[in-house]
């Protein structure tokens, strides 16, 4: 992805009807010195090209006697459109006379094929370069060149070299420091003297930390030179812009460790648990909700979990207990659901959290069934007829007695 918080100015193109596609360059101004070190700028697209579209960006120097470009053509697709690709600018050599500082422009020519070819002929930002003359000039040179930029992965370093043109008659001292961001310099003062051939180095190191704090822009600040030689005293090099890239930070996620997978609960009250921690330290509290997909089968010990910058790596336990629904419905599946995280730390806000499955074992309980109805015996038809005769006979006798 394109590094965040870049210190460079990025132009935007506004079109009344619809936004036009744009090829970005960062930075848009560079400074080189004749016979000096190469400098770098970066190119990326402002939006993804269409599916199947290939965008080709070809840089071209407007004055190859003052500077040439290498690294192109650059190819972008919908898979890498926002990943910066570098172009190297090599300054021209001295020997062309004391021609003063020369400014020229590097243009980016854009073509596109496939898809909708939306980037074909797209507007691309130019890079203005000033190649400073060194013939007849007493100055201090810096490599990487002053005014340039570099990216450093956390924990990595960049060596900066200072040299001079001309023949100093006294030591030259330059104080260096870091402004903003997470980087350090190996020394606070660089001294150029006869003993080191008026050439010295210092290292710039991007600080590695455990916190996920995104990419951090910084500036290597060089103070005006101090020397008893008036030709060099007060020379003020342009500062170097840098970016500490947090490429090795842990993935931001809530780590869940169920005691069993799936969770095992029972209607008789048996329970299980889930331990939770964050993968890295947040800058602010991180909270998320907890619910059960089938409340009639299980319940949790908390409805909200909150981690702070102080306890992000201390496990919190969520207890899950089975619920008796009073129905002999067999073992039932359920899920422990987590809402997306909420945090004032944008790196931790709105993160999805994977649900945890569980099984609630049925205890077989159900209401007692009503008593079964008593069966009525069925008598044979002959017996029934015999009984009828007896009844009739008995009735006849009673009648005869009354007579």
* Domain match, 235 and 305 both: no
Q: Is residue 256 helix, strand or coil?
A: strand
* Domain match, 165 and 204 both: yes
* Domain match, 7 and 112 both: yes
190-240 pLDDT, tens digit each: 999 988 889 999 999 988 765 555 677 888 999 999 999 988 898 888 888
Segments of the chain scoring below 70 in pLDDT: 1-20, 94-99, 134-136, 145-149, 209-214, 245-250, 364-403
As for how many domains the chain has, the answer is 3
What pLDDT sits at residue 400?
43
Range of the domain at 183: 138-249
- The pTM of the full predicted model, rounded to 2 decimals, is 0.43
* Domain match, 9 and 125 both: yes
* Domain match, 169 and 239 both: yes
What pLDDT sits at residue 32?
83
In a domain, 78, yes or no: yes
In the chain, count of helices (H) and strands (E)?
A: 1, 30
* Domain match, 227 and 348 both: no
94 neighbors 35 (Cβ within 8 angstroms): yes
* Domain match, 171 and 58 both: no
* Domain match, 17 and 113 both: yes
> Pick from 133, 163, 190: which residue ends a domain?
133
What pLDDT sits at residue 386?
52
In a domain, 398, yes or no: no
In a domain, 384, yes or no: no
What pLDDT sits at residue 4?
42
In a domain, 48, yes or no: yes
* Domain match, 10 and 35 both: yes
Q: Is 148 exposed, middle or buried (0-12, 13-18, 19+ CB in 10 A)?
A: buried
Q: Which residues contact 45 (CB under 8 A, 6 or more apart)?
A: 21, 22, 23, 24, 55, 76, 81, 82, 119
* Domain match, 52 and 79 both: yes
Residue 232 DSSP symbol: T
Q: What's the CATH number where 58 sits?
A: 2.60.40.2030
What pLDDT sits at residue 10?
38
In a domain, 27, yes or no: yes
């Amino acid at each position: 992805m394109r590094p965040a918080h870049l210190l460079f100015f990025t132009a935007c193109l506004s079109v009344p009807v619809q936004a036009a596609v744009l090829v970005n360059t960062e930075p848009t101004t560079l400074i080189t010195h004749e016979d000096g070190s190469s400098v770098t700028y970066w190119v990326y697209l402002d939006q993804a090209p269409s599916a199947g579209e290939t965008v080709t960006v070809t840089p071209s120097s407007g004055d190859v006697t003052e500077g040439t470009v290498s690294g192109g053509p650059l190819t972008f697709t919908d898979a890498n459109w926002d990943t910066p690709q570098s172009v190297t600018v090599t300054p021209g050599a001295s020997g062309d006379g004391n021609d003063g500082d020369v400014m020229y422009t590097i243009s980016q020519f854009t073509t596109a094929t496939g898809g909708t070819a939306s980037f074909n002929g797209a507007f691309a930002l130019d890079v203005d370069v000033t190649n400073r003359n060194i013939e007849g000039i007493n100055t201090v040179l810096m490599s990487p060149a002053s005014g340039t930029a570099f990216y450093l992965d956390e924990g990595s370093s960049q060596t900066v070299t200072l040299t001079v043109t001309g023949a100093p008659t006294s030591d030259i001292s330059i104080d260096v420091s870091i402004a903003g961001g997470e980087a350090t310099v190996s020394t606070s003062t660089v001294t150029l003297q006869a003993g080191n051939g008026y050439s010295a180095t210092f290292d710039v190191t991007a600080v590695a930390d455990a916190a996920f704090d995104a990419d951090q822009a910084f500036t290597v600040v060089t103070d005006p030179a101090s020397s008893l030689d008036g030709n060099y005293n007060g020379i003020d090099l342009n500062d170097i812009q840098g970016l500490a890239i947090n490429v090795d930070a842990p993935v931001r996620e809530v780590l869940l460790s169920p005691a069993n997978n799936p969770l095992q609960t029972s209607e008789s009250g048996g329970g299980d648990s889930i331990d939770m921690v964050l993968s890295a330290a947040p800058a602010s509290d991180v909270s998320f909700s907890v619910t059960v997909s089938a409340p009639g089968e299980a319940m949790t010990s908390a409805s909200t979990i909150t981690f702070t910058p102080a306890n992000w790596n201390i496990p919190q336990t969520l207890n899950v207990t089975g619920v008796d629904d009073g129905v002999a419905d067999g073992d039932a599946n359920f899920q422990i659901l987590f809402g997306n995280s909420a945090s004032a730390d944008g790196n931790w806000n709105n993160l999805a959290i994977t649900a945890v499955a569980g099984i609630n074992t049925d205890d077989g309980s159900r209401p007692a069934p009503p008593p079964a109805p008593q069966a009525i015996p069925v008598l044979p038809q002959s017996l029934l007829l015999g009984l009828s005769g007896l009844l009739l006979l008995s009735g006849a006798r009673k009648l005869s007695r009354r007579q």
